[in-house]
Amino acid sequence: MKILVPVKRVIDYNVKVRVKSDQSDVDLTNAKMAMNPFCEIAVEEAVRLKEKGVATEIIAVSIGPKACQEQIRNAMALGADRGIHVECDTFPESLQVAKILASLVEQESPGLVIIGKQAIDSDNNQTGQMLAALTKLPQATFASAVEVDGDSLKVTREIDGGLQTLKLSMPAVVSTDLRLNEPRYAKLPDIMKAKRKPLAVMTADELGVDITPRVTTLKVTPPPARSAGVKVETVAELMTKLRDEAKVIS
């Protein structure tokens, strides 16, 4: 079975995000970039399925500027067999990404697409669902456990009332949640081997997808600064402040 895993280049989650002075966008100058954490989980799950003998090939896909090849190489260092880079100047919107991935699904015919549930920059949580709709494949979102049984897939997902287990026929689309696994670190020998693995480069035009922006960003502003807290000496003083100043109790 072939597994397709999209990976996105984002600002490292440890970095404090800065906004440009003209409020047009987030300032990426000299910012440390990394693979989206949910994409790391998706890659790890695909690698684990390959280690179990379920999968035979893992394809890492990234869409965006040339620098995205760094994240594809990282995925290949973690265990992906080859990469596909759909090069464009910016990061397309969710629907455009889903259309590009749908075209690649048609070309590659994977048995499973494992995708992070959301990217930590845009936080849309849309692409996996849109991809399933475009390809007319069954889907399971927010997966916390994945088990392949022959031609079917059993996925456990977390819901408000507890856990829900779904059984899907394959091919299928699965989006990963935080508790699915703990991603591994790439070892130096694997990083060196990844440099020799095949990486195909193509454009959205070659896949027949128009990536002209449909959404305009009007303004980006940082969150308001939090005011400093105060210390109180007694419970009685705390209750007084909550009642008379914060007015959250009566």
Query: Domain residue spans in the chain?
Result: 2-225
Question: Quick one: 2-225 is in which CATH superfamily?
Answer: HUPs (3.40.50.620)
pLDDT at site 94: 93
* Per-residue model confidence (pLDDT) at position 194: 94
CA distance 233 to 250: 21
Residues 213-240 pLDDT 10s: 898 889 998 888 888 888 889 999 999 8
Would you say the C-alpha torsion 161, 167, 169, 175 has a positive or negative sign?
positive
CA distance 88 to 66: 8
Q: What's the rounded Cα separation, in Å, for the pair 98 and 8? A: 13
Quick: pLDDT tens for 127-165: 999 999 999 999 999 999 999 988 899 999 988 888 999
Q: Is the pLDDT score of 250 beyond 80?
A: no
Identify the CA nearest to 197 among candidates 207, 208, 186, 206: 186
Q: What is the pLDDT of residue 147?
A: 93
CA–CA distances in Å: residue 102 to residues 6, 90, 121, 149, 224: 11, 19, 22, 25, 39
Q: How confident is the model at residue 60 (pLDDT cuts 50, 70, 90)?
A: very high
Tell me the pTM: 0.87
Is residue 90 scored above 90 in pLDDT? Answer: no
Pair 95, 209: CB distance under 8 Å: no
Query: Using an 8 Å Cβ cutoff, are 9 and 68 in contact?
Result: yes
Chain segment 155-183, per-residue pLDDT in tens:
999 888 889 999 999 999 999 999 999 99
Which of 28, 204, 26, 34 is closest to 122 using CA atoms? 26
- Report the pLDDT value the prediction gives residue 87, as an integer from 0 to 100: 95
Nearest Cα residue to 84 out of 5, 207, 200: 200
Cβ atoms of 124 and 16 within 8 Å: the answer is: no
Give per-residue burial for 4-34: e unless 16+ CB within 10 Å, then b: bbbbbbbbeeeeeeeeeeeeeeeeeeeeeeb
